[in-house]
């Protein structure tokens, strides 16, 4: 009998405590003592933790001191990116103020030991490396050098890689066999290593003000009118043999804008972008 009474008393006190807790609606609770109200609960503010901002994107431009590469460096700086350049000659000879904000590396893509440290902290690469000469030299500089860069960037964990290649020009492909075979070999390597983050731009003639030996050449005088005419003549570019000769020129600033966007925009579609695609993307960015 004592046991039964004891259980009844304990169960009544448990119900009283439960009722007191659930009856609280304003941050206070009733005590089991009928005439006593406890003090409000004190809630301390959580400690504020200073979280550092996400690290800035770092872009490495291969051939950043050249005609196209220098425009890409400048465009990337304007977008707030950390920009580094790698070339055989190192620092650009340009005296423009923006050049002081670029990290200049000197190295040769054909010699891996001389430049791989330039990939430290890099999130994207844009390659403008290319050149003319004998067929063997053209294949080496347009193909092998870029293939080395693509492989090294992939092994380093770089997320995106943009390659400035070249449009087909029909008969010119045979006259510059080493040049185009090297370009296409590099493209194949890029699409293999970067199926989701590799972008190939294939411009034709790239015009703009070009500095050669301290003298400025306004290539836009020829290129701009040709672009205005040929960009509306796309059907002619489909003609056999001579069609590629109707490929419209493109301004170097347009190539730079699309290249930087392709290197930094995760939704930019991977794959090959021809001249007309480059012009479309430049209009979208505006």
Tokens at 29, concatenated:
């609770």
Strand-pair category, 206-207 with 209-212: unpaired
| pLDDT, tens digit, 9 for 90 and up, residues 102-115 | 999 999 999 877 78
pLDDT 10s digits, 21-53: 344 444 444 344 444 445 444 444 444 444 443
What residues are paired with 144 via a beta bridge? none
Query: What are the residue ranges of helices labelled H in 116-219?
Result: 135-139, 145-156, 171-175, 177-193
Residue 213: its pLDDT value, please?
Answer: 55
- Partner residues linked to 126 by β-bridges: 61, 162
Task: Read off the pTM.
Answer: 0.73
Averaged pLDDT, groups of 10, the chain, 286 residues long: 42 42 42 46 45 68 94 95 92 82 94 86 97 94 97 96 90 83 97 97 84 54 46 52 63 96 96 93 74
Contact 86, 62 (CB under 8 A): yes
Among 227, 271, 222, smallest CA distance to 249 is for 227
Neighbour-count burial for 190-211, b at 16+ CB within 10 Å, e otherwise: bbebbeebbbbbbbbbbbbebe
Rounded distance between C-alpha atoms, residue 241 and residue 248, angstroms:
16
Q: How many helices (H) and strands (E) does the chain have?
A: 9, 11
Q: What's residue 214's pLDDT?
A: 58
Q: Which of 74, 70, 117, 75 is nearest to 89 (CA)?
A: 70
Question: Quick one: CA torsion of 70, 246, 241, 201, rounded to 10 degrees?
Answer: 30
pLDDT reported for residue 34: 44
Specify the pLDDT at position 268: 96
Q: What is the pLDDT at residue 216? A: 57
The two tokens of residue 43 are 């809630």
pLDDT of residue 126: 98
Domains observed in the chain? 58-284 (3.40.50.720)
């Amino acid at each position: 009998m004592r046991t039964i009474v004891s259980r009844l008393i304990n169960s009544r006190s448990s119900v009283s405590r439960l009722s007191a807790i659930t009856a609280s609606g304003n941050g206070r609770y009733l005590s089991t003592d009928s005439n006593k109200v406890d003090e409000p609960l004190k809630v301390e503010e959580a400690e504020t933790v200073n979280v550092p901002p996400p690290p800035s994107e770092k872009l490495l431009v291969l051939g950043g001191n050249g005609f196209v590469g220098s425009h890409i460096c400048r465009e990337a700086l304007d977008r707030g990116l950390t920009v580094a350049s790698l070339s055989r000659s190192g620092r650009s000879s340009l005296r423009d103020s923006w050049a002081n904000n670029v990290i200049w590396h000197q190295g040769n893509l054909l010699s891996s030991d001389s430049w791989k440290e330039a990939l430290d902290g890099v999130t994207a690469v844009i390659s403008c490396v290319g050149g003319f000469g004998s067929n063997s030299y053209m294949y080496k500089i347009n193909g092998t050098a870029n293939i080395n860069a693509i492989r090294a960037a992939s092994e380093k964990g770089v997320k995106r890689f943009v390659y400035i290649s070249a449009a087909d020009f029909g008969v010119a492909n045979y006259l510059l066999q080493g040049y185009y075979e090297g370009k296409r070999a590099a493209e194949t390597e890029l699409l293999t290593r970067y199926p989701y983050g590799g972008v190939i731009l294939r411009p034709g003639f790239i015009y703009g003000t070009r500095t050669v030996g301290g003298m400025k050449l306004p290539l836009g005088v020829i290129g701009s009118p040709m672009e205005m005419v040929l960009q509306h003549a796309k059907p002619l570019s489909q003609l056999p043999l001579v069609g590629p000769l109707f490929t419209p020129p493109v301004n170097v600033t347009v190539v730079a804008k699309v290249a930087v966007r392709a290197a930094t925009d995760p939704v930019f579609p991977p794959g090959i972008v021809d001249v007309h695609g480059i012009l479309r993307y430049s209009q979208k960015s505006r």
